[in-house]
Structure 1
Amino acid sequence: MQLTGSHVLNAPVSKIWGMLMDADTLAQVVPAVSRLEKTGDNEFKAIAEVKIGPVSGSFSGDLSLADIRENEGYTLHVKQNSKIGNADASVAISLKPITDSQTEVSFDGNARLSGLLARTGQRVISGVANTLTRQFFDNLEQAINENP
């Protein structure tokens, strides 16, 4: 499944970068993540509760950051396992200043699903991915507004 998109946030690149590199902030803004624990440099254990159409489950796995370019972006690797299937994703995240107070955050990558997740159907999963993406950017905007 392809994951692509972008969103403009009303904050400078340095602020967005700091938030995207902070585990506590990520745990707050990433939808469905109930816990994010640092296990090493740029490596985390992630626990998530996800509902995809009629299927829901608790996921546990690893999240890591690679190819880190300060204030420009990184590659996010996620491997999550559950009773309803597994997800393995790699997504390039890029930050681009639009003005001194606006930043475009874009992402491009793909996710491979297996088990019941893969059988749920591309249309349902794409809809859920779009909803989770919207929630992520809404949550990030709220966090920016709460911490000017």
Structure 2
Amino acid sequence: MRFEGTLDIAAPRDRVWSFLTDPTRVTTCAPDVQALEITDPHHFKVVVRAGVGPIRSTFAMNVEFLELERPQHAAVLARGQAPGSAVQMVSNMDLAEFDETHTMMEWSSDVTVSGMIQQVGARLMQGAAEKITQQLFACIKAKLEAPVTI
């Protein structure tokens, strides 16, 4: 499955970059994250509860930054397994600066699932993934557009 979109964020590009490439910060916006372990600057592990309909599982995900071109581009590979299911996701993000206070993020994710979770059907998975994506980006936008406290 492929997902893609754009997000206009009323924040400077450097601030957006710093947030989105910091696993500790960005995972605060990901629904159902249960644990995070940063293993080195390019790798981290995350445990997340995910699923579609009645089929839900806890996935142990290994995440790697494949490309980091500050402050405009990042690519991430995430692979995970749960009992009876597996998922792989390759995501790309490009940040364009409109001016000193606005950033446009273009993003895409290619997701492959297998096992029990795949059996629920592409339409259900697509809907669930879109809902999670909307929650994630709404949180990211809200946090980045909030007034900076010093």
TM range (shorter): over 0.9
Q: Describe the superposition over 1:120-144 as per-residue Cα deviations: whole angstroms up to 9, x where unpaired.
A: 1111111111111111111112322
Farther-moved stretch of structure 1 (101-110 vs 87-96): 101-110
Offset, 1:61: 2.0
Q: State the TM-score, normalized to the length of structure 2.
A: 0.91
Offset, 1:106: 1.6
Offset, 1:105: 1.3
The residue aligned with 1:15 is 15
Q: How many residues align?
A: 148
Cα distance change on mapping 1:109 and 1:24 into 2, 3 Å: closer
The answer to whether the Cα contact below 8 Å between 2:6 and 2:106 also exists between their aligned partners in 1 is: yes
Offset, 1:38: 0.6
- How many angstroms apart in 2 are the aligned matches of 1:76 and 1:49? 20
User: Unpaired runs of 5+ in structure 1?
Assistant: none
The residue aligned with 1:73 is 73
The answer to whether the Cα contact below 8 Å between 1:27 and 1:34 also exists between their aligned partners in 2 is: no
The residue aligned with 2:32 is 32
The residue aligned with 2:50 is 50
Confirm or deny that 1:4 pairs with 2:4.
yes
RMSD, aligned CA = 1.4
Letter in 1 for 2:63: L
The answer to whether the Cα contact below 8 Å between 1:3 and 1:91 also exists between their aligned partners in 2 is: no
- How many angstroms apart in 2 are the aligned matches of 1:78 and 1:20? 15
Q: Describe the superposition over 1:27-66 as per-residue Cα deviations: whole angstroms up to 9, x where unpaired.
A: 2012222222111221001100113122111110201111
The residue aligned with 1:101 is 101
In the TM superposition, structure 1's runs of 4+ consecutive aligned residues that sit over 4 Å from their partners are none
Offset, 1:147: 5.6
The alignment partner of 1:71 has SS state of coil
Farther-moved stretch of structure 1 (55-64 vs 94-103): 94-103
Letter in 1 for 2:90: S
Farther-moved stretch of structure 1 (5-14 vs 31-40): 31-40
